[in-house]
Amino acid sequence: MSENPAEAQSHHEGPIKTPKQLIWTVVGSFLVPVIVIMMLTRCVDQQERTGAGSTSMSAEATAQRIQPVGMVELHDASAPKVVHTGEQVYQGQCAACHGTGVAGAPKLGDAAAWSPRLAGGYEVLLQSALKGKGAMSPQGGGQYSDYEIGRAVVYMANEGGGKFAEPAAPEPAEAASAPG
């Protein structure tokens, strides 16, 4: 095992042979991981950027962030009450379900679906509308008065083959205390 010392030294040499190569290796060993980490965090965090150069401080973005959550509407209690027709109430409140038959609601004008319900009479239909039935939520005390809901019940029932008379209008004192 007599090896030449010069030969033994060449087996143990690394790829860095000059001080310039050493400096580049040290700088590269720090910069490459930092750049890779920055690129990975940019890929992971795809949210809109904030700060300089972004649109987060524009007037539109600010207005969107500070828009009101709710609104308060004031109504003049002494203003005359507008009484809606049965068709208007149907269009505003009932058509969403009774127009398409959602959740088993009888469609407007479907005599076969309305026939068993009409047999119970107007009062039964009105109470179902005011207190709710099945998937239908109670409508009493909502946007429309009980009288207006009654008019909508008559409208839908008569379109489905019923022969109900329009409900009597409430007395003026009763109309003033009706919700709406």
pTM score over 0.75 = no
Residue 110: count of CB within 10 angstroms of its CB = 15
Amino acid identity, residue 98?
H
Q: Is 45 exposed, middle or buried (0-12, 13-18, 19+ CB in 10 A)?
A: exposed
Residue at 143 is within a domain: yes
> pLDDT truncated to tens, each residue of the chain (180 aa)?
555 655 555 567 788 889 999 999 999 999 999 999 998 888 877 666 666 667 777 788 888 888 888 878 787 778 777 788 888 888 887 878 888 887 788 888 888 888 888 888 888 888 888 888 877 778 755 678 888 888 888 888 888 887 788 887 777 655 455 554
Examine residue 27 and state whether it is found in any structural domain, yes or no: yes
CA distance 135 to 100: 14
Looking at the fold, whether 104 and 38 belong to one and the same domain comes out as no
DSSP secondary structure of 80-112: PPPPPPHHHHIIIIIHHHHTTTGGGPPPTT-HH
Q: Between the CA atoms of 32, 36, 38 and 44, what dihedral angle is there, to the nearest 10 degrees?
A: 180
CA neighbor of 92 nearest in space, from 163, 134, 142: 142
Any domain includes 66: no
Residues 94 and 164 in one domain: yes
Range of the domain at 110: 86-177
Residue 39 CA neighbour count, 13 Å, CB half: 6
